[in-house]
Structure 1
């Protein structure tokens, strides 16, 4: 008995080939759908793409919020009550603004970056290579992470939570423009074992997540630029790590913040200004600090219609009214 009729084997092979082609088309389509931001074509603008007036109006003026006496203020952010918290690696302090005064709260070895967890704890990177988790309610703290694959971490700098409660953090110490060995790690929620996220970076400083959650922005301080790297939970896409912005003057980008429309705000250290870029990397302009401020722009945060800045040469906190709202942070959820 014949298993196939005349021509049957050919038909089976033909059907198999068609099935394979359909699978390939499906996979390619899925990848392209997940890559709209890369493949999307937009009209070329006839004039300038942006103006800084989209971010700050002509009537907006800088206001000095508070001033400290010593230290090197960084890590400005807000708790749910709207209180300002900061850290100082030079004086080894956790700080809080009370009225117009900056008050000492607690001592840590060398805290640099700070972000609130939604459970109320404040997570702080430290130059000693650890992340502290401090509870403002009890005053107790613990080490959230201190090693990678059993080895101590080098000095840490900045950190940011993603929507799942995972934590990206930077490890710049020992790296530079001529020795680009800095790393960025990811600490999954409820874990003490970080994963390597990016490496071979010339002093990774600030870190932030795009408004859609698909990119991680990293300040490559040693090369005066910001990198954009696909986030671990980003959908499939042909987008690869790339240089998002390159800056003129100063030394390099420090802290980063993102607004709800996807614009990135870069604290440009030793330039005394904030650079603003849209989600496609085009520059809207710069917001320059007032003449009586210093140029050590270190960190920034959004709160109630204002952009807050720490300037570390004079240890001052400034704010300016902006037309955008900051992307909701994990600690305020």
Structure 2
């Protein structure tokens, strides 16, 4: 297993600091960066020069994605729903809230497109957390239930598998959506912090690179763990901050969010790598 720091990972890197812990990194079609800052109640837009400004407000914006029409779909953990913001930053409605298959949506955390106009999202609750699917007609169904704080989520379009970070079990689950039963199984158990404290582990955001390796933001470990297609740990990248929340990968761009603590300060790392490194 190869271990590096982001400073040693090829390419120019920028690090920006914000008053609040950051989450939800995405990039739009123009190359503009967006992050959320949870307790700051903001969705921030960051220019290529590193200038951040408020783009929209929510009660506690967490994970976000950009839909095909340019709208931002954002998990609001405090308001217990998934909200839609139009390309100008105006909230245009709620995409998911309330009950689904007997489960009350309590703390939406992260979400990912299903490739067909819908999305999957995690509801982060200890022991009874769920993963939910909302199709393009906004019909909801539960994919997995009774999870111990489901957190980051990633969908692989090639295999139609859904990967879920189960934070307090310090592992990554996978659900095969091609089968009638999509009950998730363990894909990988992650390294544990020597302190033995659960809070020092907690896998968070997930993203795939172009080689189908799964990158895991390992919150309490202050690093990114990289797993191959078999779930084997092949690389570890240390970040510049204690708590690593999420990441976004696109071509040779890597964005990493997190901070020194909660509620802050928060950081955003942007790294442009050499071709073929991601």
TM-score by length of 2: 0.86
1:118 aligns with 2:68: yes
What does residue 17 of structure 2 align with? 67
What does residue 95 of structure 2 align with? 144
- State the alpha-carbon separation in 2 of the partners of residues 230 and 288 from structure 1: 31
Determine if contact 1:264/1:276 at 8 Å carries over to the other structure.
yes
What does residue 162 of structure 1 align with? 114
- State the alpha-carbon separation in 2 of the partners of residues 217 and 142 from structure 1: 27
- State the alpha-carbon separation in 2 of the partners of residues 89 and 222 from structure 1: 20
Q: How do residues 246-261 of structure 1 correspond to structure 2 at under 5 angstroms? A: 246-247=189-190, 248-249=192-193, 250-261=200-211
Q: How do residues 19-58 of structure 1 correspond to structure 2 at under 5 angstroms? A: 51=2
- State the alpha-carbon separation in 1 of the partners of residues 182 and 41 from structure 2: 40
- State the alpha-carbon separation in 1 of the partners of residues 213 and 275 from structure 2: 12
- The worse-fitting range, judged by mean Cα deviation, of 135-144 and 181-190 is 135-144
SS of equivalent to 1:270: helix
Q: 1:88 aligns with which of 33, 37, 40?
A: 37
- Any gaps of 5 or more consecutive residues in structure 2? 194-199
Find the structure with the greater CA-based Rg.
1
Q: 1:265 aligns with which of 196, 199, 215?
A: 215
- State the alpha-carbon separation in 2 of the partners of residues 124 and 300 from structure 1: 15
> Which has the larger helix fraction?
1
Shift of 1:75: 0.2
Determine if contact 1:132/1:144 at 8 Å carries over to the other structure.
yes
1:286 aligns with 2:229: no
Determine if contact 1:218/1:227 at 8 Å carries over to the other structure.
yes
Determine if contact 2:115/2:157 at 8 Å carries over to the other structure.
no
> Which has the larger strand fraction?
2
> 1:151 and 1:217, CA in 2 relative to 1: closer, same or farther beyond 3 A?
closer
- State the alpha-carbon separation in 2 of the partners of residues 264 and 117 from structure 1: 22
> 1:138 and 1:227, CA in 2 relative to 1: closer, same or farther beyond 3 A?
closer
What does residue 254 of structure 2 align with? 307
Determine if contact 1:62/1:318 at 8 Å carries over to the other structure.
no
Shift of 1:137: 3.0
